Structure 1
Amino acid sequence: MKRNPTDDIDAYWPSVLVERVWEYAIFRLTEDGVIASWNPGAARIKGYEAQEAIGRHFSMFYTEDDRREHIPDVALRIARERGQYESEGWRVRKDGVTFWASVVIAALHDAQGRLVGFGKIVRDTTDKRIAYEAVIESERRFRLLVQGVTDYAIFMLSPDGLVTNWNLGAARIKGYEATEVIGTHFRRFYAPEDALRGLPELGLRTAASEGRFETEGWRIRKDGSRFWANVVIDAIRDETGELIGFAKITRDVTERRTAHEELEKARAALLQSQKMEAVGKLTGGVAHDFNNVLQVVRGNLELLEGRHARDGWTKERLDKAIEAVDHGASLASQLLAFGRRQALQPIVVDPAVMIRSMDDLLRRALGEMIDVKTVIATDLWNTFVDPNHLENVVLNLAINARDAMPEGGKLTLDVSNTQLDAHYIAGADDVGAGEYVLFAITDTGTGMTAEVIERAFEPFFTTKPEGQGTGLGLSMAYGFVKQSGGHIRIYSELGYGTTIKIYLPRSTEQAAAIEPKSPVALTGGTETILVVEDDRRVQATVVETLRQLGYTVFKADNAESALAIVQSGIHIDLLFTDVVMPGAMRSTDLAAQATRSIPSLKVLFTSGYTQDAIVHGGRLDPGIQLLSKPYSREELASKIRRALGMWGAVEVELAAQADAARAATHDESARDDDAARAHRAASDLAILVVDDDGASREAISELLESMGYDVQQAADAEQAMHALIEKKTDVLLTDLALPGQSGLELARSALARDPDLKVIFASGREAPSRDEAGFDCASLRKPFSIEQLHGLIASIEDARADTGRRG
């Protein structure tokens, strides 16, 4: 019997295996593409049973589009020519649902090599296709996203730094189109000086070794203009870790940099403004007092000149002295200007030296109602800081503390060494562990709530009334401390005060030399002082020192003895008493009873006990002053004068010289008095001199009296109004800076009562103009000459006389 060729084919076909495969559709096609066999996998995947598929053309599984494109015929032709055809595409099941198929068609040949049909294997890979399409869609969207981003230049680099792609943001920022830069090295975007330094290559090396490189710097656009760029370079590696390139993201942050520079400029300006506010308060008082001193000196010199002008030698010396006063006023003005322009630079500072040098500045800035205590640890470490800036911070914190103590109180400045450990920094992420110099500024003021503490460092936040504070003091302190590598923290309890702690890093380098300040000048007086001290040695030393300074001194060993002296009727100006003494009566009780007996009595306490930083109880009453032991002779003399609130050393010395001169030249003075009286013009002009500085007030009044005018004096606006009510006054000569109501406010109140009153402002500061004051006024700038004073008063008197004649 003749053998059928297909029998050989069937022999090759592993029918048993094929029949058991369910994951693949495996079937045979004739040379024309007709289905000749069908396995269970084909039935599961295609949906057709064997009897439905065998004998039909395999194109039935293709989509209509593929059939129109003759894809089935092309597949058989390629398989016939090449032996095998592989493809993927959409296929159609019996129910019309399409699936993604992986297809292999292999040509089948007999033993003689004749084509006898095709074997076809189909696998349903729809899930993979869907995942693939999702990836493709994700990549498409990512490409659209990257291309759509215009705020960032996003592009790829080869491992050698050649640009391989380019987004629209890169074109916008850099100014190049993709065709202009792809294939070129990215160093073309760097500034020439940076390219010469090898910064492009450094960025690639860093990214390759560390995975990422980030920096900021100048970059160049196509038109040659520069922009400040934030740059990130990320290394890109394949699955094996092989470096295949870099992703580079560049953002134009020129506006941010400009804004940052403007912010830094504004911050520097605000720092300067804040410093000037603090220094202004200080120097304003200094200038006022200094000009008052100069006024006293010049007034007394001119009084002497009036008596001794006929002696050529004496007049020459007086003229030189007056010239020196003018020069001193000029120097004061120049020093104030220099202080506003002083360059600030950080140096290694010995905090002990710096803080000690600030003692007088603090006391002057805070006033008599604030008791200042400075505690400096031994072996204090150095720190690297701007001393002037630190001084400004301390002054501002002290002034804030003063404002929190409107009724007076105590300010303690404690400087010590400290170490911040891991436990502390766990709650403070802005500071590292290590050695620090601690500045603790403590007041006994009103304190802060938790809400205020939380916002205290915010710029422009203030609890003060509008117009009484900028809200920049603490924020400036915060910025300065942070910039110095330090840390600042507030501790406060409402009603009990506040402590602000500043931690500045320790420096192990040698401190820069600071020129020592001039020692405090000794100041004496003629008042009577009662010294109460149980230690006989201390008592004897104090009594002798005070007597050498010119005071009349009584002494007592305890409070009971001291009270007996007070109640004996002896006039006493100052009670100087130790805080802790033996006996039943405490020093505070002594002070209370003594001031009731002598209302004008001033009290100064002294003690050798170290006070705590914040004292909840036992707080000194407002107005009580404390001199801590041990104290120097100069400190004693200075504190006594401040407690008495009287003249300083210059005024006392001048008064003593004047008394000696009058005693030695009585006859000559009498002749001079006769000449002066003859020289005076009789006048009934009544003048009220208002000045809180007694020495300046006395000097001006004596000058006016020497000219023949009727002169009254007042220390403040309240006294002045009483004087104006009690007696008709023609001229009000007042300082601008007065305690309580200002001189300008006093003048307005006085004019409301007497519109005919003439007003002259005499001050060390700029006087208001007529437009600013709202009324006619004249002014004298301290220190002024006797001619200036006489000329101004005379013009008023002449105007008054003219008015009388016209009447």
Structure 2
Amino acid sequence: MSSSLTAPSDFGADVVAVEGIAAVPTILEVICRTTGMGFAAVARVTEERWVACAVKDDIAFGLEPGGELKVETTICHEIRQSGTAVVIDNVEADLTYCGHPTAAMYGFQSYVSMPIVLPNGSFWGTLCAIDPRPARVDTPETVGMFKMFAELIGFHLDANLRVATSTAKLRLYENIVQSDTAPICVFDTEYRLIAFNKAHNDEFRRVNGFDTKLGDVFPDLFIPEQAEVMRGLMGRALAGESFKVEAVFGRPEYGQPAWEITYTPLRDEAGEIIGAFHHAHDISARLTAEANLRSAQDTLRQSQKLEAVGQLTGGVAHDFNNLLTVIKSSSDLLKRPNLPEERRSRYVDAISDTVDRATKLTAQLLAFARRQSLKPEVFEIADALRGTADMVATVIGARVQIAIELPDQPCYVRADRSQFETALVNMAVNARDAMHGEGKLTLHLSCGLPLPPIRRHAGAPGPFVRITVTDTGEGIPGATLGRIFEPFFTTKEVGRGTGLGLSQVFGFAKQSGGDIDVASEIGIGTTFSLYLPEAQEVAAESGVVDQQVVFPGEALRVLVVEDNAAVGSSLTEALSDLGFETSWAVDAREALDHLSRTPSHGFDVVFSDVVMPGMSGLEMAQLIRHRHPAMPVVLTSGYSHVLADEGRHGFELMQKPYSVDQLAQVLRGIVGRKNDPATQSADFGGKRTLSARTARDRDDTQHGSN
């Protein structure tokens, strides 16, 4: 058998190991005196070699420790193979060994060789003795003595080998620890250093200016504010916690680097905590690199934002300049004298149509920016798809086949239905262009689904409604796929698209609490997946008021609140031309003063812009609702982040731009509801408090009219 504890080739170590057994010289002395033999030795025997490790030679045999015989010439070689002792009183009289060449070669008559076997069962060598004269050795007493001595030597060799192995391992561990460039120290339950590597002392000196030594109370070596932190960390480890922290340690004059420190309790064999390890890494360079990376990323993002703003600004300027050109030329032509009525009507219609197109353009921009003031309602999505299909069919043409796939059960969403229909049409138009006006368009509706992760954003459990729009077009290249929702980004030739259609879909989906995803394969087609939060069915609202209620002979009294002088002046003149009595306040404070000085019956309705300096129109309306519950308020805005984020809070809203006729209709209608006892409490009696978010947004409110 072989053993990992023995090293057959390291005979010098074997000699040293035997010399390290203090009893061996005595054992050899006792053997010679007891048996009367003149030579005794402890030999290391392997398959290839026989080496004397300890010798007592009183017959001038000629061997010393380290001396060697050819193993094949020895009887020990046979003993190694058989594992049994050989005892010979007289070679000449021994039937087995009388003709053995070893006896003749080495000139002995008496011979004893006992195997030395280690506790693990492996053969190590022999304890042997020879003499040129016969001797009485084949007795139980002598054989027993040799066996006892061989076992004793084997036990000591095993113990020494284990100690040497453990020492080598400890030395290896020490070398590893000392080679670690990161500081490592061990402290006891009294916070005293009981061990540390060279890097620990070197780094401590680097950041504190002096050395540490064993027995130091480690926290007391730091400046006071750091000592308290260090003691707390060490205390956590001594309480049994293993953890990692980042902290700054060191004196200011030495730079105070940042460290990542790992703490681990040190336990004895019984599991009791007797100290803890402190393993540190200087992470200052890493933190600096991370900070530089964040700075570079911020710079890149800012550059990308500026690029996007430049693209957006260029697109807006281009489209609005086209619209303004139509308005400007039409208004100039209207100034020409003796203009025929037919041409005058044509120019007026051109201005009105251009304003409508400008309104649609701003609505698409606000939808992309998620700042559109939506009018959400609960509706059955399948009905909306069927209702929009006819409009889609008209837009995309007869050569595109439309297929609608709907579930059997009804499915409801809460969203702005008009914006949903616009989004559906925009996706259909995009599909039509991808199919070059001919192919198949499939609208598919699924309900009760989770929202999957899209564009590295986390998903949501739902339930969500998914509307997929699939075309059989040419597909979208990968380089383009990531930009299709950007405003004014288009791959179409000049005049074929503004690049705002899909950005409207994106903004509508996000503002409605959903998302939009796209998958495309070149030559196969593209699928857009619009996700909207699913809603519960609600009962249909009743008590619809006729918005065209007119009160003949009654001049409604309107308090107009508008900070823009041109808009305020034009609006009050237009309302006066329609028979309204108007008062004009330039901000919320002045409007509230009007209402406090005038009895509540002095005005029939307040009409206010939302975005104003100081108090916003929405804040003012909530305050009026609190002070004058019966006073109706109509708000107007072309854009307000407050309305986009929080909704209208129950107030009537006029989207800019609006016509004076539309405004007059709304004002008369809301006053009609005010005078209707059935709706008065519901519409004007509710009291709500100003939300914290609205108060915060007041400071961010933009000046000027929107």
TM-score w.r.t. the length of structure 2 is 0.35
TM-score w.r.t. the length of structure 1 is 0.32
